[in-house]
Structure 1
């Protein structure tokens, strides 16, 4: 079978699926903006395409998102047409439509089956919009209209699709019924052989030396440090947390950019804004125990999770982070926000302690309680890993279900 992958940052969510299909003898090709020259990766032929240079033009702000997606879609269409003219005709197209690239591929290969990675349908009501009163969207009625416009890309794609796949029920359930009925919930999977506990783990941190499981460590991880992932709540909890735990080290992972939500004002970063806010309440000796690690390689990230005494995860009602499931797989003792996507994978008192997203005092209380309770940490960590192994393991659960999903698409069965 000939399979075409479409992902702006390939492999992205196809990191494990694409090599598996290639290893089974399928001819796998990917079109992506990520590479500059054609290459082969784990049996997949990865081909680049580029975006055209465009003159600035006046576009209504609500159409800027769609305009960008159509630009990418046209570029991908042109690359796909060249592939077709060279004789490549896929039986199956697997696409992440979030950036628009796959918008016109039915026009190139009308007979190919099409499976979409359904990451999110943008809902414009609470709590999906204005969940956090500190960062409201201004005119709520206008925001409702603007958010609806962001779904034009979804509405263009879904009539063409044979089926969709979504990693969590929360994400799948954001789609309207006519879409949702064709979406299968299968997570991308967690490599539990890599994300696993290690009692002998050691992590070297500048300013702290070598840390081990005997040290008291709280970890907090975002792709980028921003309000959508509760960075402001966590930072505001630090003064009391550091005061109550004089031997605690706090390790914070994340970049300075913006993944979700509004950009900070005046060219600042959310990271620095909230450092500046809390710094006056934290003595220098306590601040020396807070370590910002930036973005780190995945192997070091796994070590960080393995060494964590308590891991804190906070999020708006939004796409669930891979990092949370990897923390669970490492037997981390977790304090997390009691929000809908989190409740899908964590249970209060069984696999984690859950707190109201905005309750920073409650957050500190739960973290301190776990730091003092070895038995609770061990029990919840074991339960968390067991849940991941039983429901999200890459090789025994996720990949077999993804293959079943592909088989259903190719057989024409209702999925």
Structure 2
């Protein structure tokens, strides 16, 4: 690993400047706005991550790599494999942080995503530093995403709660590490037990609603050269990866009837072929192709030609896709809410979404979107038809969805100021003292 050093240049007075260390396996991740904002305010912002191989600078943040020091063990109990991977990252990150300390860098504040275990031992190295943790999700065997979809049952329902209790070892290891926590939604924060929850502030990562705006003149060019406009009937569906956790299977099974009922609609799907969450498909297959194969025989070729799998697309194209959408379909297990849902709202797209807990903070039925039961494909089709057949309702919901996005999720006026205030509270805490 390259020697970890940092620049001693201090752009503002000593009394105002802090040393801030970010820890994230895939930096910047959820800190893509906060870290540059702190650097722009004169703080010394340094990040440790596995994402880069060589030291670099990004938006004023000095990014330093760390490498894993050990390989996973062989023959471990399967319930311990997850924790060992986090332990390996925690140890390796500690070694890199110790090298930083030997080079003279001592953070006043550490901001970390603990999900991969990297921040597990940083309090041992810097006991005086205030540590803020991004709490993404607490695992539960009795509620939430586990066991939600009967089509993909857990391997052993009898022991699943025990396995998940061990999976939460990393969360509990961080209970004494973190001084304050942050979660992007109430749903995510509320998955944590009271001893965590009382420390967690709910502050969304933020959407730039000045960039993500409605655009009546938008066009979108398909791979075959066809150009779509707002005059076309466009149905959109977006996942990071096309998989059951985000309702891809429900959408695909509704597709034959949806295409039949909308003979002029173009259906645009965004997402990769990999797995972000949940179980993997059988070896050599993808969830995308599995469900294409399941429904393709019920869709005439003339209709299938109106279905467009776009893969992963650049952000400017993604933005145009949201702006051109006449009905944006979003589904999710009771799990982390996708940024794309808030971006679709900010773009003024009429939303048709699953009636699952994470949606309830953003979508009010018949106001900011339409909700339907997650597994009910017929209801999905009926609600998409309702939106497309009632332009006035669609326009009203799109306008209300954007207004809520601006009011609640805007980066510059809401979320980033709250994140910065959270950093200030964190920095002003006394060592070992929790105040809320």
Q: TM-score range by the shorter chain?
A: over 0.9
Structure 2: unaligned runs, 5 residues or longer: 1-17
Q: Is the 8 A contact 1:200 1:212 kept in 2?
A: yes
Q: Is the 8 A contact 1:408 1:414 kept in 2?
A: no
Aligned to 2:337: 320
Offset, 1:127: 4.2
Offset, 1:414: 1.7
Q: Partners in 2 of 1:34 and 1:197 — Cα distance?
A: 34
Q: Structure 1 residues 55 and 394 mapped into 2: Cα distance closer, same or farther (>3 Å)?
A: closer
Q: Is the 8 A contact 1:232 1:274 kept in 2?
A: yes
Q: Partners in 1 of 2:435 and 2:207 — Cα distance?
A: 27
- Superposed, 1:298-317 pairs within 5 Å as 298-317=315-334
Q: Partners in 1 of 2:359 and 2:225 — Cα distance?
A: 32
Deviation per CA, 1:24-61, whole angstroms, max 9, x where unpaired?
Answer: 00000000011111111111110011113526521110
Q: Partners in 1 of 2:309 and 2:89 — Cα distance?
A: 35
Q: Partners in 2 of 1:49 and 1:398 — Cα distance?
A: 30
Q: Partners in 2 of 1:126 and 1:188 — Cα distance?
A: 25
Q: Partners in 1 of 2:22 and 2:106 — Cα distance?
A: 13
Q: Partners in 2 of 1:320 and 1:141 — Cα distance?
A: 28
The reply to whether residue 123 of structure 1 matches residue 144 of structure 2 is no
Q: Is the 8 A contact 1:6 1:31 kept in 2?
A: yes
Aligned to 1:290: 307
Structure 1: unaligned runs, 5 residues or longer: none
Aligned to 1:211: 228
Q: Partners in 2 of 1:393 and 1:351 — Cα distance?
A: 16
Alignment partner of 1:165 out of 179, 182, 186: 182
Q: Partners in 2 of 1:322 and 1:126 — Cα distance?
A: 23
The reply to whether residue 99 of structure 1 matches residue 116 of structure 2 is yes
Aligned to 1:344: 361
Q: Structure 1 residues 127 and 107 mapped into 2: Cα distance closer, same or farther (>3 Å)?
A: closer
Deviation per CA, 1:249-278, whole angstroms, max 9, x where unpaired?
Answer: 000000111111111123311101000000
Aligned to 2:6: none
Over the aligned positions, Cα root-mean-square deviation in angstroms equals 1.0
Q: Is the 8 A contact 2:144 2:335 kept in 1?
A: no
Q: Partners in 1 of 2:416 and 2:259 — Cα distance?
A: 42
Q: Is the 8 A contact 2:72 2:84 kept in 1?
A: no
Aligned to 2:276: 259
Alignment partner of 2:51 out of 31, 34, 50: 34
The reply to whether residue 380 of structure 1 matches residue 397 of structure 2 is yes
TM-score (norm 1): 0.98
Q: Partners in 2 of 1:351 and 1:56 — Cα distance?
A: 50
Offset, 1:203: 0.9
SS of alignment partner, residue 31 of structure 1: strand
SS of alignment partner, residue 103 of structure 1: coil
Q: Partners in 2 of 1:296 and 1:173 — Cα distance?
A: 33
Q: Structure 1 residues 374 and 233 mapped into 2: Cα distance closer, same or farther (>3 Å)?
A: same
Alignment partner of 1:360 out of 377, 392, 396: 377
Offset, 1:208: 5.7
Alignment partner of 1:19 out of 25, 30, 36: 36
Aligned to 2:150: 133
Offset, 1:149: 1.2
Runs of 4+ in 1 over 4 A off after TM superposition: none
Aligned to 2:266: 249
Deviation per CA, 1:196-235, whole angstroms, max 9, x where unpaired?
Answer: 1111111111136111111100000001111110000000
Q: Partners in 1 of 2:155 and 2:143 — Cα distance?
A: 14
Aligned to 1:407: 424
Aligned to 1:153: 170
Q: Partners in 1 of 2:263 and 2:71 — Cα distance?
A: 56
